Amino acid sequence: MKVALASDHAGFKYKELAKEYLQQLGHEVVDYGTNSEERADYPDFAHRASEGILKGEAERGVFVCGSGIGISIAANRHKGVRAVNAVTEEMAQLSREHNNANVLAMGERLVDWDTAKKIIDRFFATEFEGGRHEGRVEKIDNC
């Protein structure tokens, strides 16, 4: 699967770790930046990566900032992007099963790397259930 990566300076380390980890799992990554720990604004990179997903350059994304909050809000401004700021494996799983989330946002300051890897694993291992959830997801994308 092609995965879009994005971060600001506060999420740069985890973005780089996620890149390596996702490649080890067999995914192809498309890195939309940032490319250092120098101060950078998360909306710039969330917007680039979200547009990449919407253009078909990637199927899903992993976006990281300090808390995961700002970058997920910026991503969710794009119709067709459903970003979840997951801090537990269960949140990642439910976001896929019930909401067909296509972007996993994380906060480098809020979860340790071992937990982050487990959240990534669950997000990519879980499929959308469809069924009763399908109409709800359509309503999200139709507003």
Is position 98 annotated as part of the catalytic site?
A: yes
- DSSP line for 38-49: S---HHHHHHHH
* 40 Cβ contact list (under 8 Å, min separation 6): 8, 9, 33, 34
From the candidates 9, 78, 98, 133, which is the catalytic residue? 98
- DSSP line for 88-129: SHHHHHHHHHHH---EEEEETTTS-HHHHHHHHHHHHHPPP-
From the candidates 9, 27, 47, 65, which is the catalytic residue? 65
Q: Provide the annotated active-site residues.
A: 65, 98
